[in-house]
Amino acid sequence: MRFNNKIAIVTGSSSGNGRAIALALAAGGARLVCSDLTSRARPEGFETDLHIDTDQLIRDNGGEAIFVRADVSRHGDMQALVEAAVERFGRLDIMINNAGVAVELKTIVEETEADYDLTMNVNTKGTWLGCKFAITQMMKQPVSDSGTRGKIVNISSIGGLVGLAQEASYCASKGAVNNLTRQLAVDFAAHKINVNAVCPGFLATAMVRQELDNPEIKTLLEDLTPWPRIGNVDDVAKAVAFLASEEAQWMTGSLLTVDGAYTAQ
Ligand SMILES: NC(=O)c1ccc[n+]([C@@H]2O[C@H](COP(=O)([O-])OP(=O)(O)OC[C@H]3O[C@@H](n4cnc5c(N)ncnc54)[C@H](O)[C@@H]3O)[C@@H](O)[C@H]2O)c1
């Protein structure tokens, strides 16, 4: 299988994109360290099996998975998360920095300092910490038979590439994730560590449940997306699985849009 014997961490794995990514990697044979603030899925999610935790679902499907609680914005939690993966499985091959937050839509005039701090701490600092401890571990590991030392995929957003209305802190946080991704690719290409980002467009997850439950905003998001539907978590998970696979060995520092042509306009 595609990810046989590979060890993967997915942050924010209990809901939405993180859950779909963890399930996709496990379906390919990876052994998973699922991580989130809690193992319970957000109830606003769109999946029909939200009552089953992601790590349990992987085990129910015959895979191997553990859950490790970590707040991505905390240095000690992220260090302990990578240590837990290595203690349990011996190494770390794939790090998916997916956990993220978005505050309600408002302009910078209404945004508070607390909104900014939360968004930057989770989306940007969380990704920085995830990359820092994953790369520290990967640098201790030999290059695998398939020619890489480790793969990192950061879940960014179209909001890191263009300005999205009323999402000042969110766009700032994802713009930083995108350029951090490129910077790390430069520093660690010689060491055969791949660092890429996926930039999804508008998706149906708990994060945007409030907007999608408003028919006017739902129609607006659909109209803004050239492809005749908004995205879903499997669209994102498939692109992440590609970047985490050996098929993408010479891809690093890439910002891969998965957005139904939103940013192509
Ligand atoms: N939904 C979209 O339209 C969309 C579009 C582009 C990018 N994204 C990105 O995809 C990623 C996943 O978002 P989603 O849409 O699946 O949202 P979601 O709310 O369904 O899932 C996010 C998960 O992250 C976890 N999380 C939040 N703060 C955390 C923290 N401090 N530490 C650890 N875990 C934490 C939550 O508990 C939750 O399980 C985010 O980075 C988001 O910015 C989402």
CA–CA gap between residue 222 and residue 56 (Å, rounded): 34
pLDDT of residue 197: 99
Confidence of residue 50 (pLDDT cuts 50, 70, 90): very high
pLDDT at 145 over 90: no
pLDDT for position 143: 92
In a domain, 265, yes or no: no
What integer pLDDT is reported at residue 148 of this predicted model? 92
Write the CATH number for 179.
3.40.50.720
pLDDT at 36: 98
155: its two tokens: 């879940």
pLDDT digit string, tens, across residues 209-226: 999 999 999 999 999 999
Please compute the mean of the pLDDT values over residues 148-177 and round it to a whole number: 98
CA 231 – CA 46 distance, rounded (Å)? 12
* Residue found by looking up tokens 């957000």 in the block: 42
Among protein residues, the one whose CA lies closest to atom 30 of ligand 1: 71
* Centroid of ligand 1 to alpha carbon of 27 (angstroms): 21
Q: State the average pLDDT over residues 38-67.
A: 97
Return the pLDDT at 111.
Answer: 98
Taking residues 121-142, report their average pLDDT.
Answer: 98
pLDDT of residue 91: 97
Which residue range(s) make up the domain with 240? 7-206+233-251
User: 2 near 242, Cβ under 8 Å?
Assistant: no
102 within 8 A of 12, measured Cβ to Cβ: no
Mean pLDDT of 180-197: 98
Beta bridge partners of 193: 150
Residues across the chain:
265
Residue 103 is encoded by which pair of tokens? 């505050």
> pLDDT tier at 144 (50, 70, 90 boundaries)?
confident
Q: Is 98 in the pocket of ligand 1 (CB under 6 A)?
A: yes
Is there a domain that residue 63 lies in? yes
Q: What is the pLDDT of residues 226-248, one digit of tens each?
A: 999 999 999 999 999 999 999 99
pLDDT at 147: 86
Residue 130 belongs to some domain of the structure: yes
13 lines ligand 1 (CB under 6 A): no
Q: What is the pLDDT of residues 69-124, one digit of tens each?
A: 999 999 999 999 999 999 999 999 999 999 999 999 999 999 999 999 999 999 99
Catalytic residue set: 170
Please choose from 11, 14, 15 the residue to mutate so as to test ligand 1's pocket, defined by most ligand atoms within 8 A of CB: 15
**Using a 6 Å cutoff on CB, does residue 160 contact ligand 1?**
no
For residue 145, report the distance from its CA to the centre of ligand 1, in Å. 33
Tokens matching residue 241:
């699985």
Q: pLDDT at position 94, please?
A: 98
Cβ contact 152:95 at 8 Å: yes
- Supply the pLDDT for residue 183: 99
Alpha carbon distance 12, 155 (integer Å)? 10
Q: What is the pLDDT of residue 146?
A: 79
Q: Which DSSP letter does residue 206 get?
A: G
Nearest ligand 1 atom, CA 41: 39
| Cα-to-centroid distance, 265 and ligand 1 (Å) | 26
Which pTM value belongs to this model?
0.98
What percentage of residues in the chain have a pLDDT greater than 90?
98
At 39 the pLDDT is 98
What pLDDT is stored for residue 110 in this prediction?
98
How high does pLDDT run on average in the chain?
Answer: 97
CB of 178 closer than 6 A to ligand 1?
no
DSSP code string of 117-146: HHHIIIIIIHHHHHHHHHHHHHTTSPPPTT
Q: Is there a domain that residue 1 lies in?
A: no
Pick the closest to residue 159 from 173, 149, 148 (CA basis): 173
Instruction: Read off the pLDDT of residues 171-182 as tens digits, 9 standing for 90 and up.
Output: 999 999 999 999
DSSP-assigned beta bridge partners for residue 162? none
CA 62 vs. chain centroid, Å, equals 23
- Has residue 212 been placed in a domain? no
In Å, the largest CA–CA distance within the chain is 53
CA angle 118, 123, 129 (to 5 degrees): 105
Q: Is the CB of 100 under 6 A from ligand 1?
A: yes
The whole-angstrom separation of Cα 84 and Cα 46 is 30
Where helices occur in 33-167 by DSSP H, the ranges are 54-60, 75-89, 113-119, 126-138
Domain count, the chain: 1
